[in-house]
Structure 1
Amino acid sequence: KHLVSFADCDFSSTLTNVSFFDFVGGVQLLQGEDTRTVLPVILIGICVSGAVGNLLVLLIFLRDFRNGKGSEVKALLASLASTDLVILLLCAPVRAVTYYKQTWTLGSFVCSTTDWFQHSCVVAKTLVLAVTTRAKHTLVPSATGPLYCPTWMHGALAFIWIVSMMFPIPQMLFASLVPHGRDTICVSEMPVCASVFMRLFYKIYPTATFVVPVIFTLAYYTKALHTAVNHAPSPQHQSKVTLVLLCLSGALGLMLLPEWGTFTWIRLGYNKPPVGLIIFAQVLLYACSSLSPVILMTMYDDVRQGLVTIWFSATCRGSKHLHSNKCPQTEENGAEVGANAVPNAVSKEMEKTFPDVEHFWTGRRNTHVEESQDPVPWEREEKISGVKAGQ
């Protein structure tokens, strides 16, 4: 009872030249203080947690490439994490502000581009995961440089983003501001003259950018995982990476299905879906971007090891700040304790060993001794007698 339905906003019946009506940038004209506060809080929580996770993943991959441990799969997963980070930092806050204000307050430019930009990022995510089926899991050669990336990957990413930005162009063309009392709302209104072509387009668009790539990716990694486990000579590492990519593709397909379903449902002119379902689909879209780094950190061995390394580096650096000389030698860091203990013990023993002998040799160094002052004259006499006997 706290949500306004599409029937309550009878814009489509008053605008005879419009074939369908939809809100842009989040459902507006919501009623109820609980909806106004709960939804922004949920979205902000998803944004913060997801942004931190994706930043850590990017930091780990950058560190691997600098150390010569990068691969083509890691480069594409870094691109995926960057796209998720953009969605969480630029798209989700727009929905949070819209749900809080209940009207549109971000201007006409954001109204025209917000859905187009979000769809571009979502399509790019799906296509990047599909391209990982072409990438190799092996490490790049160190001779090619720490940030080596094949030429085909640059071309593939450029092609993906061009396609991803071109397909959602109607989202930008049909978006506009509409006055509603003293306020304004951001809506998408498709004219009747374009309805025939756009109905065909909205059947091709989700199929080409979501359904086909997801089915292809899931099928490929399912087959690859079966082959790696049963037929590969050393299947352990390859099967783990394949399982990670399979889980990423499955999570993306399941969590984006409600968003694509409601999107197509509205554009094809069927009965309007419930507003609660639309909001749930949008929340799942942002939760998908926050779930990807969790999957990588828990299932991908290289990312998990990199996370542990970053954690120990951060704690050690913090300990050095507290203790200016060195990191505290704890039980968990036994190797460091042993490595430091040996040279310290040796140096202490050297300081305690025979100080009088050291003084004796220091005093005799570079010292000229006269024959009359020779402390051991019998040695010289023995040498002289030995020479005479030889003669």
Structure 2
Amino acid sequence: MLENSNQEEMDIDRPTNVSFFDFVGGVQLLRGEDTRTAMPVLLIGICVSGAVCNLLVLLIFIRDFRSGRGSEVKALLASLASTDLAILLLCAPVRAVTYYRQTWTLGSFACRTTDWFQHSCVVAKTFILVATTKAKHTLLPRAAASQPLHSPTWIHGALAFIWTVSMMFPLPQMLFAALVPRGDDFVCVSEMPVCASDFMSLFYKIYPTVAFVAPVIFTIAYYTKTLYTAVNHAPSPRHQSKVVLVLLCLSGAVWLMLLPEWGTFTWIRLGYNRPPAGLIMFAQVLLYACSALSPVVLMTMYDDVRQGLVAIWFVATCRRDKRAPETKCPQTEGNGAEVAANAVGNAVSQTKEATFPDVEHFWTGRRNTHVEDEHDPVPWEKEEKML
């Protein structure tokens, strides 16, 4: 555990015409070498493991769609895995670099867009989970599944709407971000002027409610009701209730792990006392761990994903065995003609040794047939045969 003295950030002067001040892209100007090494290692580990799991899930869904086993839920879960992949590959490394350097070294463009892009992905992730409540769990028609990742039209429209809204909501994260010199270095901060404080105070109350609280309540209520209906009234309750249970567990895990991030974000923006730096870092770690945990939930609970993972494992194993054929093919001496002749001879001998019961009984009966009749009208036939 990090000591409190190492978690506190250095004081930085706030301009007089600014009503809000916060770091962007990770907490900067931290004291302590343990934070400088522990946080980057932790974030990189989460990034690598989560990226591998999300790529496996995407590969499984692509395989299902190409083989005609796609569904609306799988299309949305593939979009969710793509969003998690973007968070892990584009957002987590920025925080790792920031914690290692303890200042901002990635330039003005990255300073303005890093928090905006991360919030866009997080909001899109929550809205995609809400969209899965409308998706059907039945398979798409095979004719429609002939094209890779084909899905109904409403899914394309829903994803376009989700990403448009998700990129518009966090625009203040881009507008108020700026580089501030700190000696020979720079820090990336968010400065909100006093003239916009009233409007932004209202906005920062509406934004978390629409982007987090409302989706949580709606999704949990919907899946709870659907799970109850699937178990008691659905024509195939076993399969449908399993899918609904997976989506309920996935949504619950996402909401719980995103709660600290949204809590600290709202806490800071509403002008209350600044939370400890350790709590802010813990919330950020949970945010990235959430993107790494989502594919694990799918691979352990979703039957189709688990079966696809087993199939991919078998394919990889077979390819590895083909590279070493000597483990399966026995060694033989001699040329190819001798081997072929021996194989043919063995096949012929096995055929001769094989006895069909009906034929054997037929010929045995013919051999054991012995007619003994004293009143045979043509006895000379026997005599001729005997001669």
Aligned mates of 1:328, 1:130 — CA distance in 2: 51
* Residues 228/36 of structure 1: CA separation in 2 closer, same or farther (3 Å cut): same
Deviations 1:80-111 (A, max 9, x none): 00000000000000000000000000000000
Tell me the residue number matched to 2:286: 284
Aligned mates of 1:347, 1:51 — CA distance in 2: 56
Tell me the residue number matched to 2:321: 319
Tell me the residue number matched to 1:375: none
* Residue in structure 2 matching 1:232, options 206, 231, 234: 234
Counting only pairs closer than 5 Å after superposition, residues 198-237 of structure 1 correspond to structure 2 as 198-237=200-239
* Residues 345/285 of structure 1: CA separation in 2 closer, same or farther (3 Å cut): farther
Tell me the residue number matched to 1:293: 295
Calculate the TM-score normalised by the size of structure 2: 0.84
Q: Secondary structure at the match of 1:159?
A: helix
Counting only pairs closer than 5 Å after superposition, residues 1-391 of structure 1 correspond to structure 2 as 1-5=5-9, 8-12=10-14, 15-146=15-146, 147=148, 148-323=150-325, 328=328, 348-350=346-348
Tell me the residue number matched to 1:363: none
Alpha-carbon offset, residue 206 of structure 1: 0.7
Give the AA of the match of 1:57. V
Q: Is the 8 A contact 1:112 1:173 kept in 2?
A: yes
- Give the 4+ runs in structure 1 shifted more than 6 A: 344-347, 351-354
Q: How much identity, in percent, do the aligned residues show?
A: 76
Aligned mates of 2:276, 2:74 — CA distance in 1: 40
* Residues 219/347 of structure 1: CA separation in 2 closer, same or farther (3 Å cut): farther
Give the AA of the match of 1:27. V
Alpha-carbon offset, residue 10 of structure 1: 3.8
* Residues 60/182 of structure 1: CA separation in 2 closer, same or farther (3 Å cut): same
* Residues 216/323 of structure 1: CA separation in 2 closer, same or farther (3 Å cut): same
Deviations 1:301-340 (A, max 9, x none): 000000000001101100101117xx849xxxxxxxxxxx
Calculate the TM-score normalised by the size of structure 1: 0.83
Deviations 1:272-326 (A, max 9, x none): 11111000000000000000010000000000000000001101100101117xx
* Residues 346/303 of structure 1: CA separation in 2 closer, same or farther (3 Å cut): farther
Alpha-carbon offset, residue 145 of structure 1: 3.1
Q: Secondary structure at the match of 2:143?
A: helix
Please identify, of 199-208 and 228-237, the stretch whose mean Cα deviation from structure 2 is larger: 228-237
Aligned mates of 1:3, 1:305 — CA distance in 2: 45
Q: Is the 8 A contact 2:67 2:145 kept in 1?
A: no
Aligned mates of 2:207, 2:112 — CA distance in 1: 19
Q: Is the 8 A contact 2:70 2:145 kept in 1?
A: no
* Residues 52/346 of structure 1: CA separation in 2 closer, same or farther (3 Å cut): farther
Deviations 1:239-290 (A, max 9, x none): 1110110011101111001000100111110111111100000000000000
Please identify, of 231-240 and 44-53, the stretch whose mean Cα deviation from structure 2 is larger: 231-240
Q: Is the 8 A contact 2:26 2:95 kept in 1?
A: yes
Q: Is the 8 A contact 2:8 2:276 kept in 1?
A: no
Tell me the residue number matched to 2:365: none
Q: Is the 8 A contact 1:225 1:242 kept in 2?
A: yes
Alpha-carbon offset, residue 181 of structure 1: 1.0
Q: How many residues align?
A: 334
Give the AA of the match of 2:8. V
Deviations 1:50-91 (A, max 9, x none): 000000000000000000000000000000000000000000
Give the AA of the match of 1:116. W
Aligned mates of 1:176, 1:170 — CA distance in 2: 12
Alpha-carbon offset, residue 174 of structure 1: 0.3
Gaps of 5+ in 2: 330-341, 353-387
Alpha-carbon offset, residue 4 of structure 1: 2.5
Aligned mates of 1:126, 1:36 — CA distance in 2: 31
Q: Is the 8 A contact 1:178 1:184 kept in 2?
A: yes
Q: Is the 8 A contact 1:70 1:140 kept in 2?
A: yes
Deviations 1:188-238 (A, max 9, x none): 000000000000000111111111012101110011111111222221111
Deviations 1:2-54 (A, max 9, x none): 1224xx42422xx1100011000000001111110000000000001000000
Tell me the residue number matched to 2:382: none
The CA RMSD measured in Å over matched residues stands at 1.7
Aligned mates of 1:204, 1:80 — CA distance in 2: 24
Q: Is the 8 A contact 1:11 1:21 kept in 2?
A: no
Aligned mates of 2:321, 2:345 — CA distance in 1: 25
